A and B are shown apart, each in its own frame.
Chain A
Amino acid sequence: MEQIFFEVLRPGINSTFQDKGRFGVQHMGLAPGGAMDYQSFLLSNVLLNNENNTGSIEFAYQGPLLRLVKGKTKIVITGNVFFKIHSQKGEIIGEPYRTYDLNEGDQLDILATKSSVYGYLSIEGGFKLDKFCGSVSSQPRAFIGPNDGKKIELKDKILINKNSIIKENKIIRNIKFEEKKTYSVLPGPQFHYFSTASKKQFFSTPYLITKQTDRMGMRVMGKSLENLVNSNIPSEGIIKGAIQVPGDGNPIILLSDHPTTGGYPKVGSIISSDYDDLIQQNSNKEIYFQLVTLEAAEQQFALYIEKIKRKIANIEKI
């Protein structure tokens, strides 16, 4: 069968293949990984009638410039993304959350994420990728994922499963990019290690997102947390969103490619429904943390799921 593929003319920053992540493997030292912004990832596949967990290209800040060398495909980009499509008909500025047809020779230029970090490119039928432990998610540090987990590189040939057969295009209109200022936190397993005064500061003063932020973790700067017990604990399992506090008292929020276990005390954990929003915030942004109850976090999660369902229900044919 004839190969259908994109050629990479510019890889972009931190472009990797991601799906929902790898599960049932963390006891082997393998973190779940997966799309940082699950909601944007999911919607990209729904818009294309793909199976929900089909692998996408995740990019940060600047995405790739791709040329469709062979075949015909339908694409969608999700996230707050500025991109262009060059075809024989000319150049258009693309809208995220809207599907487009690409023909042989067309170029897709994903220029930038707008006041956000991550975006997703999905295609009808998905990219042709090998799974490892049930997932195509790349973890470059551990050489795990398609092409030994390497980030997408210049001149890579990205294979596509099949030519597009869906005629119509779809759109979700009026996507709002909310910008939260305050993120909700549940107490962590070593919440009681920290002084009451410093916790009070943690939950009332601003923290700056620093440049030392990637798929593994987000370092924030603000009032340091005072540990009254011990700044080292026997290593224990970690879940994304955990806020660990090393000896220097400066919190690090552990993100999708976190180490599987860690020996620093954790003051809390970002609630699940706030995660997709948090990881989209640029460095130098000031954020606040607020302590919430488990019941409140569970209610927020139900609302988060409800919101995704509403967006899916609002998909229109063009």
Chain B
Amino acid sequence: MIKKITNISDQGIICDFGEEVNKDINKKVISLFNYLKEKSNKNEIKGIYNIIPSYNKLVVHFDLEKNNSHKIKEIISSIDLKKLTLSQLGKVWTVPVCYDDEFALDLENLTKSLKLSKDQIIKTHLQTEFYVYMIGFMPGHPYMGDLDKKLFTSRLLSPRVQVPIGSVAIAEKFCIIYPYISPGGWNIIGKTSIKLFDTKNLTNPCLFSPGDTIKFKKVNKSELK
């Protein structure tokens, strides 16, 4: 449930669902996101620029010429979150990953810090059914969880200046995929050729949505497109 709603700007508020990060709380965040988005699309809430769900927070960015934080807080406070259910079930995706050494830049180091063999790390990663908590940072960039406890690890001490596109990486209890070449500090364990954000797709450019389920499938280098 929402612990508090506060201003983060004169044109933005944040709904705080607490400090914990888990699927149940995230599902509440997403159900409120879906509800507000629908209201905004129907213009029943005016002047909404963006609604941004994350693990356990929801940010609403609005146009102060058309609305204000007082009114938006009132609308959100009046919603009975218990009655909101996820209107649509998440999709299930299978993502091909190649774990070859040339792509899995940090796998070798992880075998030392996690005290597991490469095969054990790969097998554990493949056995996990991931849940998409949020899309953020860059277009199409998913934050997925939860990793098996055996794979919990911290970020690299010094982030890479350039992470190759499609890198599958882990840190803490999460797994991500880099949709673009970018800087990044997560531990890279493989590569996928799946396109996470497609600007040619004008109606639905982003492949995954929060709430989707992701399974990974091991493939050979030749099977990466």
Contacts and interface: CB of A to CB of B under 8 A. Distances in A.
Q: How large is the interface on B (under 10, 10 to 19, 20 to 34, 35 or more residues)?
A: 35 or more
Contacts of B11: 239, 272
Given A235-B134, A298-B64, A189 B52 contact: no
A185 to B, nearest CB: 10
Nearest to B11: A272
B134 A26 contact: no
A266 interface: yes
Interface in A218-272: 234-239, 241-242, 259-262, 266, 269, 271-272
B69 A294 contact: yes
A259 B12 contact: no
Nearest to B50: A26
A24 interface: yes
A267 to B, nearest CB: 11
Contacts of B16: 189
B136 A239 contact: no
A188 interface: yes
B14 A237 contact: yes
Nearest to B65: A305
A235 B210 contact: no
B136 A260 contact: yes
Given A260-B136, A272-B64, A301-B10, A239 B199 contact: no
Interface stretch (B54-62, B98-106, B114-122): B54-62
B72 interface: no
Contacts of B8: 186, 188-189, 239, 242, 266, 269
A279 B199 CA distance: 28
Given A23-B50, A297-B10, A29 B69 contact: no
A298 B10 CA distance: 6
B134 to A, nearest CB: 7
A63 interface: no
Interface stretch (B85-93, B139-147, B217-225): B139-147
Nearest to B155: A232
Nearest to B143: A235
B197 A298 contact: no
Interface residues of A, number: 41
A270 B61 CA distance: 14
Given A27-B210, A29-B139, A239-B9, A132 B59 contact: no
A69 interface: no
B206 interface: yes
Contacts of B194: none
A234 B50 contact: no
Interface in B1-24: 6-12, 14, 16, 21
A299 to B, nearest CB: 10
Contacts of A159: none
B9 A28 contact: no
B197 A29 contact: yes
A237 B10 contact: no
A316 B45 CA distance: 37
A26 B9 contact: no
Contacts of A143: 180, 199
Nearest to B182: A141
A191 to B, nearest CB: 9
B202 A259 contact: no
A29 B49 contact: no
A132 B64 contact: no
B193 interface: no
Given A239-B9, A294-B69, A29 B64 contact: no
19 contacts: A23-B50, A24-B37, A28-B140, A29-B179, A141-B182, A234-B57, A235-B55, A236-B14, A236-B55, A237-B50, A237-B52, A237-B57, A239-B9, A239-B59, A239-B61, A260-B52, A271-B10, A272-B9, A301-B64
Question: Shortest 10 CB-CB distances between A and B: which pairs?
Answer: A237-B52, A237-B59, A261-B136, A26-B50, A28-B206, A297-B10, A236-B57, A239-B12, A269-B9, A29-B139
